[in-house]
Structure 1
Amino acid sequence: MIDFVAVFIFFFSVIDPIGTVPVFMAVTSSYSEKAKRKIAVRAVLIAALILLFFVVVGEPMLKAIGIPLPAFEIAGGIVLFLFALTMIFGESKPEQEVKMISSETEAAVFPLAIPSIASPGAILAAVLQTENAKFSIVEQVQVTAMMLVVLAIVLVLLLSSTFVHRLIGSAGASLISRVMGLILSAVAVSSVLSGITTYFNL
């Protein structure tokens, strides 16, 4: 049995649903409410398919190219840590990803689905949290379910984005994004230590 709260917080940190709201509002500012709903659903669906893909084939893909999972865990932890640092000290997720908007027709895919929802951190989390050597099939299903719960929260927040943004504002979203970065940095260090311990059989 997994720690549902810990897994939920982990995925909530790397996906950062609240930080996606300002990005969504900037992307869809010129769209009707009906079009906004379609973009929200499409973006979350695409992100879910991407993350599910890595849940299923992420580890076999690593084995096929000869990369041991502990090495990926260490590398993933380092990447997550750097990603967390950019969330804390650099431009926050909303500020950074709003600048990526280039084409309205691609809005649901980029920057909403990737990298706002299915971020590099979320993809790494999907692989590391479903490691076959550490987690049973039942536990992997539970982890995947918690990931989908977070994605469902993303969808709810996007569909009610106007209210959420009015409630917390851009500054609030930026603050929450930085707090999530702090939590993520601790998770990243834990991942590196776990990978080192496993690799060297400490």
Structure 2
Amino acid sequence: MYILCIFNLNTITMLSSFSFQQAISAFLILFGIIDITGSIPIILNLKARGKTIHPMRATLISFALLLVFFYAGELMLQLFDIDIESFAIAGGLVLFIMAIEMLLDIEIFKYKGPSDEATIIPLVFPLVAGPAAFTTLLTLRSTFDSVNILTGLSLNMIYVFFVLSATNVIQRILGKSGIYIVRKFFAIILLAISVEVIISNIYGLTNNC
């Protein structure tokens, strides 16, 4: 009975803290950071190389990782004595390798697991639940109420599932030539983003020293 009362009180507190404006703001910020739309060429490239992607599994695992990091991210990094800049640089290096693969039509990252799938790496990490999304969630905690951040995050995960489920349709619309052109264009964009992530966080590390 006591636990039920606490649960009800927490629920009422969360509902009273809900702000439509904050939820939309959190959604838009995370939408720009996760940018699953911009990752479509990468996803199509993975499928063209015979990689298997499971939309529902990718969405649920990404959501779970983001939730864990939202509540325990700082503690986890402190536990392993890793600062957020180093974590972001690691993710930036993975993005850099992926951009080089797309740009030069080579395969550096090779997954030898069952079904040769790419659901966990690189789709879940670092494309959806990457360093940028992790650091953004930690930043939003200092500005918005948790219920509004979680609402924005949930809406983003619904959109992620929709995009991952529709990649086959997008592939048919673009065709092989269209996919090739889009892949090369976004390879340059992804390369620039990865370099920016790496350099900015190296700068942050040097300032902290």
| TM-score normalized by the length of structure 2 | 0.63
Q: How many residues align?
A: 182
Q: Deviations over 1:138-181 (max 9, x none)?
A: 02421342244244223212344233343513343132133133
Q: For 2:108 and 2:206, how far apart are their aligned partners in 1?
A: 36
Quick one: which of 132, 155, 163 aligns to 2:165?
A: 155
Quick one: which of 75, 81, 93 aligns to 1:82?
A: 93
Q: For 1:96 and 1:11, how far apart are their aligned partners in 2?
A: 25
User: Which amino acid in structure 2 is aligned with residue 128 of structure 1?
Assistant: T
Report if aligned partners of 2:93, 2:194 keep a CA contact under 8 Å in 1: no
- Which structure is larger by alpha-carbon Rg, 1 or 2? 2
Mapped pair 1:122 → 2:128: yes
Quick one: which of 143, 150, 153 aligns to 1:143?
A: 153
Q: Secondary structure at the match of 2:78?
A: coil
**How far did 1:128 drift?**
2.3
**How far did 1:11 drift?**
1.3
> Which residue does the alignment assign to 2:190?
180
User: Which amino acid in structure 2 is aligned with residue 19 of structure 1?
Assistant: I
Q: Given the superposition, is the C-alpha separation of residues 5 and 52 from structure 1 closer, same or farther in structure 2, using an over 3 Å criterion?
A: closer
Quick one: which of 16, 19, 22 aligns to 2:45?
A: 22
Mapped pair 1:10 → 2:16: no
Q: Secondary structure at the match of 1:152?
A: helix
Q: For 2:125 and 2:77, how far apart are their aligned partners in 1?
A: 24
Q: For 1:161 and 1:20, how far apart are their aligned partners in 2?
A: 10
Report if aligned partners of 1:15, 1:118 keep a CA contact under 8 Å in 2: no
**How far did 1:98 drift?**
9.1
> Which residue does the alignment assign to 2:67?
56
Give the superposed CA RMSD: 4.1
Q: Secondary structure at the match of 1:27?
A: coil
- In structure 2, stretches of 5+ residues that fail to align are 1-21
Q: Given the superposition, is the C-alpha separation of residues 102 and 67 from structure 1 closer, same or farther in structure 2, using an over 3 Å criterion?
A: closer
- In structure 1, stretches of 5+ residues that fail to align are 29-38
Q: For 2:177 and 2:50, how far apart are their aligned partners in 1?
A: 19
Q: For 1:6 and 1:196, how far apart are their aligned partners in 2?
A: 27
Mapped pair 1:73 → 2:87: no
> Which residue does the alignment assign to 1:32?
none
